[in-house]
Homo-oligomer: A and B are copies of this chain.
Amino acid sequence: MTKINLKILAHELGVSVSTVSKALQDSYEISQETKDKVRSLARKLNFQPNPYASSLRRHQTRTIAVIVPEIANNFFALAINGIESIAQEKGYHVLIYLTHDSYEKEKSICEHLQSGRIDGVLMSVTTETQEYEHIAKLMDKGILLVFFDRVRHEIETAKVTTDDFVSGLSATEHLIQNGAKRIAYLSLSPNLSIDYKRKAGYLEGLHKYNISQAPELIVECTNNDEEAYQRIKALLTSPHRPDGVFASVEKLATIAYAVCQELSLQIPQDVKLICFSNLKIAALLSPSLSTITQPAFEIGKEAASILFQHLDRKRASIPNENIVLKSILVPRASSQGETLMI
């Protein structure tokens, strides 16, 4: 167990600590010869300068935090993949924090993050998030923030999202064009940006086709899977069962699917189902399901790029901006086609 530091290197080479430091940073003040000497020894001992000592001096950590509700969700997993790839490229390090969709946890994580551990945050808020003082406090400490997917428009900063309204509209039209007349919307939480935008698209879709919206067809599902299951079951056993279901998020589609199986409802004969999903396997395994796929990887990359750009330029804050990427509707029919590979 050999701990190396500048001092040891300096001693070994018979030069001063600051010379070694400068040499490793390729400073113009140091002769080529000395640089070579220093570097070859550093490589030989595989020395890496202590990043925390360096952070302390430089007042920057080259570390960001990613705060998401969950990770076993292909959208977030893919987004993190995008984030990590840009981070690796730009020499940043990525800390992961999961809120499990709890506001309390989100708050507590943000509070811990005021310590100077990170330069910036990429965040997708919880469905419970109503206030955002915890986020304001973070920004007050000079920590840059970029939202992605589940954003809060009340906070001034960059936000990377998908065209939720448009795709909500497309999804609804898709169901209508496939013959659905009574279309239900499964909502996760009305105070979630992605949810109310998709719902607005849904409403617009109905309106466009002169279909009146029956209030009982909008089902508020909570984060509680059991409860969601019961509510969807109630919906699908009601006298006027819908013939189309639009699940606003992947999890609700899964639950709706399970309910259909329990009730022996055929998809898409009895009920047509469309959902937001980034599981290629879902489209693949189930020819009965239409899906809307978000460019999750690109969202992650885009959000990270914006953050790193502003960090590298040492900006004090990120101007308000909405970056909207397009999702892709994968209709049932072509689900078996070319979009196969993961």
Chain A contact residues, CB within 8 Å of chain B: 1-3, 46, 48-53, 55-56, 61, 63, 66, 70-74, 77-78, 80-81, 84-85, 88, 93-98, 105, 111-112, 114-117, 137, 140-142, 225-226, 229, 251, 254-255, 257-258, 261, 279-282, 284-286, 289, 316, 336, 340-342
Q: Which chain B residues lie closer than 8 Å to A97 at the CB level? A: 84, 88, 94
Chain A to chain B contacts (Cβ below 8 Å), 14 pairs = A1-B316, A2-B140, A48-B111, A48-B112, A48-B114, A49-B115, A71-B71, A72-B342, A88-B97, A93-B117, A94-B96, A251-B342, A261-B340, A281-B285
Question: A289: shortest Cβ distance to chain B, in Å?
Answer: 7
Question: A157: shortest Cβ distance to chain B, in Å?
Answer: 15
User: Are B46 and A114 within 8 A (Cβ)?
Assistant: yes
**Considering the chains assembled together, what is the distance between the CA atoms of A2 and B142 in angstroms?**
8
**Considering the chains assembled together, what is the distance between the CA atoms of A115 and B51 in angstroms?**
7
Q: Which residue of B lies closest to A143 (CB)?
A: B1
User: Are B84 and A341 within 8 A (Cβ)?
Assistant: no
**Considering the chains assembled together, what is the distance between the CA atoms of A333 and B44 in angstroms?**
59
Find A281's partner among B53, B63, B88, B282 (CB 8 Å cutoff). B282
Question: A298: shortest Cβ distance to chain B, in Å?
Answer: 13
**Considering the chains assembled together, what is the distance between the CA atoms of A257 and B229 in angstroms?**
29
Question: A272: shortest Cβ distance to chain B, in Å?
Answer: 15
User: Are B261 and A280 within 8 A (Cβ)?
Assistant: no
Question: A336: shortest Cβ distance to chain B, in Å?
Answer: 5
Asked, given contacts A1-B142, A94-B95, whether A48 binds B115 with beta carbons under 8 Å apart, the answer is yes
Find A98's partner among B81, B137, B142, B251 (CB 8 Å cutoff). B81
Closest 10 CB pairs of A and B: A48-B115, A52-B52, A258-B340, A285-B286, A72-B77, A285-B285, A1-B142, A50-B116, A52-B55, A77-B77
User: Are B46 and A341 within 8 A (Cβ)?
Assistant: no
User: Are B70 and A96 within 8 A (Cβ)?
Assistant: no
Find A96's partner among B55, B96, B114, B258 (CB 8 Å cutoff). B96
Question: A173: shortest Cβ distance to chain B, in Å?
Answer: 24
User: Are B141 and A1 within 8 A (Cβ)?
Assistant: yes
Q: Which chain B residues lie closer than 8 Å to A70 at the CB level? A: 81
16 new A-B contacts at CB < 8 Å, known A51-B116, A56-B56, A70-B81:
A1-B141, A1-B316, A46-B111, A46-B137, A48-B111, A48-B112, A50-B116, A63-B95, A71-B71, A88-B97, A95-B96, A258-B340, A261-B284, A261-B336, A279-B279, A286-B286
**Considering the chains assembled together, what is the distance between the CA atoms of A170 and B189 in angstroms?**
42
User: Are A72 and B61 within 8 A (Cβ)?
Assistant: no
Question: A260: shortest Cβ distance to chain B, in Å?
Answer: 10
User: Are B56 and A52 within 8 A (Cβ)?
Assistant: yes
